[in-house]
């Protein structure tokens, strides 16, 4: 049964890879190509979110004046 499970898993993975790398007839691009084009935009959004999260976290954590 374990061998059958891995065979099904392997077939599903192969189909998924084939699906995301398949070129569309309309524009000749694949899903991977779309992701590569949008990656810089997503990275910038992630950097902005990270900066906002760090700013919020550091504004909430303020050291006490008379800490010994």
Query: Which residues have CB under 8 Å from 31's CB, separation 6+?
Result: 19, 20, 21
pLDDT tens figures, 12-58? 999 999 999 999 999 999 999 999 999 999 999 999 999 999 988 88
Residue-wise pLDDT tens digits, 23-35: 999 999 999 999 9
Cβ-proximal residues to 30 (8 Å cutoff; 6+ apart), any chain: 20, 21, 22, 23, 24
SS3 content of the chain, % helix, strand, coil (to 5): 75, 0, 25
CA distances from 40 to 7, 30, 58, 66 (A): 36, 17, 27, 45
Instruction: Examine the pLDDT at 63 and tell me if it is beyond 70.
Output: no
């Amino acid at each position: 049964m374990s061998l059958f499970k891995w065979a099904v898993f392997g077939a599903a993975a192969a189909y998924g890879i084939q699906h995301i790398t398949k070129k569309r007839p309309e524009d000749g691009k694949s899903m991977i190509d779309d992701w590569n084009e949008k990656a810089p935009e997503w990275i910038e959004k992630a950097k902005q979110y990270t900066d906002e999260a760090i700013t919020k976290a550091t504004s909430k954590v303020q050291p006490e004046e008379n800490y010994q």
